[in-house]
Structure 1
Amino acid sequence: MSTVVRVLLVEDNEVYRSTLELLLNGRDGLEIIGSIAAGDEAAAAAQALDPDVVLMDFRLPGLDGAHATTAVLAASPRAAVICLTAEATEADRAAVLAAGAATLVEKGSPIDDLVSAITSASHREGQEP
């Protein structure tokens, strides 16, 4: 029996977000349950949709990864947050992990690495499988 991991995408680049949706929805065990462009809507969307994983751009207009992670986890504590980044300093990485993100994944990583990160994050301690 396989469990479906419910994923909320938060990415302001429409082309990248649409591409992720297409690639991830085609994978067994993953379901994109929501896709939004604005970081300031992420917490409300997470609360309403109850995702297993929130896959969120690190740099969103008006909101950085650490603040967005804190807001999402406050609204949906059961969710795991994975931040996507094209570039992040070590201080950025430390801040987002301290805020509670499960991990950061480089935007240029192979899709299999991203799928693996999503699956791993969905099974972290405190998560339902």
Structure 2
Amino acid sequence: MGETVRIVLADDERMVRTALRVILEAEPGLEVVGEAATGAEAVSVVRELRPDVVLMDVRMPEIDGIRATEQILASMPEPPRIVVVTTFENDAYVYDALRAGASGFLLKRADADHLVQAVRTVARSDSLLFPAAVRALATEHARAKPAAPPWVARLTEREAEVLRLMTTGLTNAEIAGRMGVGAATVKSHVAAVLAKTGARDRTQAVIAAYEAGFVGSA
């Protein structure tokens, strides 16, 4: 990813897209390269423009943001990070979008600073976007399986520790400090965790951890 974060806005309301564009393009290193008014259009625009980040409304005409997210991730070898935009943070649709591969979610009432923070966080992809909110969603909607999936047993002790710390939203540098190891070592452990859980990024690894009963609501 280059220094400039390239963004696509997908929302069926023109005024929402315009407001998002004004906020984002006022920030250095952020550029809105395209817009879409429907889920189907979002898939097409993203495939054509290959942005770094997509802000995806959950509920749109033709296909919703969940299906659009699934189609984008399934059809691109290096897909963008997708942040779903919603009105209600405990919406089951949001959890479905996270399970489908979205890297996080953002409330429509979020202020400009939170919007910019969200885009920069998912673009870096070294920490969880709004960990407390993701954890609350996972706790509410995830259903622990009766038996742990095979990947749990394949984690080393260090990888298991890293995954638990990932669920709290710590960055690689913060995890390194907590464990007393180098950042490169943590990065290697994170990569192993993602590979073993089959997760695309930290958010999916956290969702997998909750659904496997690896971590709980305590």
Tell me which interval the TM-score lies in, with the shorter structure as reference length.
Answer: 0.7 to 0.9
How far residue 39 of structure 1 moved from its aligned partner, in angstroms, is 1.1
Higher relative contact order (CA 8 A, sep 6+): 1
Corresponding residue for residue 22 of structure 1: 22
Structure 1 distance, partners of 2:75, 2:63, is: 16
| Aligned residue identity for 1:6 | R
Give identity over the alignment, percent. 33
Give 1:62 deviation, angstroms.
2.9
- Pairwise CA distance, 1:20: 0.9
Normalising by structure 1, what TM-score?
0.88
Amino acid of the residue matched to residue 75 of structure 1?
A: S
SS of 1:83's equivalent in the other structure is strand
Q: Tell me the equivalent position of 2:54.
A: 54
Over 3 Å counting, the alpha-carbon distance change for 1:96 and 1:4 in structure 2 is same
Structure-2 separation of matches of 1:31 and 1:81:
15
Instruction: Calculate the TM-score normalised by the size of structure 2.
Output: 0.54
Map 1:40-79 onto structure 2 (within 5 A). Answer: 40-76=40-76, 77-79=78-80
Bigger Cα Rg: 2
Aligned CA-pair RMSD: 1.9
Ranges in structure 2 where 5+ consecutive residues have no aligned partner: 127-199, 202-218
Distance between the aligned counterparts of 1:111 and 1:78, measured in 2? 25
The one-letter code matched in structure 1 to 2:120 is T
Give runs of aligned pairs for residues 38-117 of structure 1, distance below 5 A.
38-76=38-76, 77-87=78-88, 89-117=90-118
Unaligned runs of 5+ in 1: none
Question: Partner letter of residue 124 of structure 1?
Answer: S
Q: CA deviation at 1:90?
A: 4.0
Alpha-carbon distance in structure 1 between the residues aligned to 2:42 and 2:75 = 9
TM-aligned CA deviation for residue 99 of structure 1: 0.3
Q: Tell me the SS of whatever aligns to 2:31.
A: strand
Structure 1 contact 97–103 (Cα < 8 Å) conserved: yes
State the number of aligned residues.
Answer: 126
- Looking at structure 2, the residues matched to 65 and 48 of structure 1 have their Cα atoms a distance apart, in angstroms, of 18
Q: Could you tell me how far 1:32 is from its partner in structure 2?
A: 0.2
Relative to its length, the structure with more strand (as a share) is 1
Partner residue of 2:8?
Answer: 8
